[in-house]
Amino acid sequence: MGNQATHVLAADYGAGSGRFVRGSFDGSRLSLQEVHRFSNEPVQLGDGLYWDFLRLFHELKQGIVKGTQGISPSVRSIAVDTWGVDYGLVDGAGRLCSNPRHYREARNAQWMEEVLHMVKKEELYTMSGVLPQQINTVFQLLGSVREHAEGLRPDIRMLFMPDLFHYYLSGQQACEYTIASTSGLLHADEARWNEHLIGRLGIPETLFPRLVQPGTVLGQLTDDLCAELRTGPMQVISVGSHDTASALAAIPAMDSDFAFISCGTWSLMGVERDTPVLDDRSRAWGFTNEGTVRGKVRTLKNRSGLWLLQECKRQWERENQFFTHEELIQLATLATPHQCYVSPGDGVYLAPGNMPERIRQQCSANGQTVPETTGAIVRCILESLALEFRQTLDELQLITGTRPRVIHMVGGGVHNRLLCQFTANAAGVPVVAGPAEATSAGNCMLQFLAHGEVNSLAEVREVMGASFSPETYEPEDTELWQEAYENYQSLNQIKR
């Protein structure tokens, strides 16, 4: 390998915003440069909630223009990753049938109920590996079929959000495995459509394109787009098109014995496995099984992340109290430890609005010390999150039979050093924090893997460790935190 860097573009669409990154790789280290950022806000139209795909594709084109300007050698490829479950419908002429519907639509509850009349939730979990939730594609898609009285024509295809972007970039239709695995429409232990389930629900099999694995080169950027954007040719690649799959690929792990936390507003915590976990206990505790790169499965649970802290910060700003995140962490460091806890995933905290007051009310109702100061509230949140992560680690041990020796944390949460340290203390295992930009980094490195510039997922992870210098937090005060965990369990009446 030479020393001249080669370049790729990664488009990372979240459910609230998007970012466009140029990744440059010199054979040993990856560097990232953000070239474009934009909001992603759904649109309410009548009784429907939609993603504005046309605007989002416009932002994609802007990212290509900004990401290719003045770059030598030219950009080799582009890949898109997004959130899961949502999709668009494309007809035989390549026209988008309508803007994709949003997973939060109220209509999905009725379609979930209808599916569960046909297939019991326990059976659905065993068949697909995916925890039944009304956001799942399987419920949304039944709604799409039912709402077309004449039926969906045989020429219509379903494409998940990243696949939809890739189609209009390259002209090639395919569904990538990791994003398809969020749908509830695949076999639990095979990377193929579950024809039996699809037929049982009366969903036309003609809707489903071929499945491809991460690292598949779909084709080239179309000639029309090259001309419009005044850019040279580049390949279009399916990576880990579900954002968590790309983030997991970027974890700088030296072996497979680890748990991961992808921590931002919400946190996904789980383990990487060869096979899914499909028993009643894993379903009752809220674990789902999704695909990851190289044919593995991520068994994970969606946990609360920094939402409570973000909402508190917004409330304090409304009250003309302005703190940086670093100042909030410093105030929490100075606050008295282990005075009170909350259950971060409790439904009382889901909606926005005056989070400090809700935390105080819950602590009072539970007979705990009420956190009155800013630092006490922040410490309550961070200690509670760490204890919730410990609970999830214990559950993972019980459903898999093994306890990971280390936790890798990626995403924006790694900037919160106190949360990282508390998580190590509560779990009793080291926490390796970083990279913060794991999704974009993983997207880029999976493209370089497709180009043959690295040869394995293990090499990808070595590059991550060399490029981003993750920080390790060793457990401290473990006896004190064990006592805190027992109090937390008692408080929240966690039953096994």
The residue ranges of DSSP E strands in 26-76, in sequence order, are 30-39, 43-45, 48-50
- By the 8 A CB rule, do 260 and 408 touch? yes
Q: Apex CA 242: angle with CA 423 and CA 97, to 5°?
A: 145
What 3-state DSSP class applies to 198?
helix
- By the 8 A CB rule, do 225 and 169 touch? yes
Please pick, among 81, 86, 163, 243, the residue that the annotation labels catalytic: 243
CA end-to-end span of the chain = 53
What 3-state DSSP class applies to 71?
coil
Q: Torsions phi, psi of 225, nearest 5?
A: -70, -40
Take residue 486 and report the two structure tokens written for it: 């027992």
Take residue 376 and report the two structure tokens written for it: 């006490």
For the question of residue 243 being annotated catalytic, the response is: yes
Fill in the amino acid letter for 294.
R
Nearest Cα to 484, choosing from 334, 338, 342, 369?
338
What is the spatial distance between Cα 128 and Cα 184, in angstroms, rounded to a whole number? 5
Biggest CA–CA distance in the chain, Å, is: 67
Other C-beta atoms lying within 10 Å of the C-beta of residue 190: 10
What is the spatial distance between Cα 43 and Cα 101, in angstroms, rounded to a whole number? 10
What is the spatial distance between Cα 122 and Cα 116, in angstroms, rounded to a whole number? 10
Alpha helices in 263-416 (DSSP H): 280-284, 307-318, 325-334, 355-365, 374-400
The residue ranges of DSSP E strands in 215-307, in sequence order, are 216-220, 235-238, 259-263, 266-273, 288-291, 297-304
Pairing of strands 259-263, 407-410: parallel
Residues contacting 209, CB < 8 A, separation 6+: 157, 158, 159, 163, 173, 174, 175
Residues contacting 62, CB < 8 A, separation 6+: 20, 36, 38
Long-range contacts of 265-268 (CB under 8 A, 24+ apart): 265/305, 265/306, 265/307, 265/310, 266/302, 266/303, 266/304, 266/305, 266/307, 267/302, 267/303, 267/304, 267/305, 267/385, 267/389, 267/411, 267/413, 268/244, 268/300, 268/301, 268/302, 268/303
What is the spatial distance between Cα 379 and Cα 441, in angstroms, rounded to a whole number? 31
Active-site residue numbers?
243
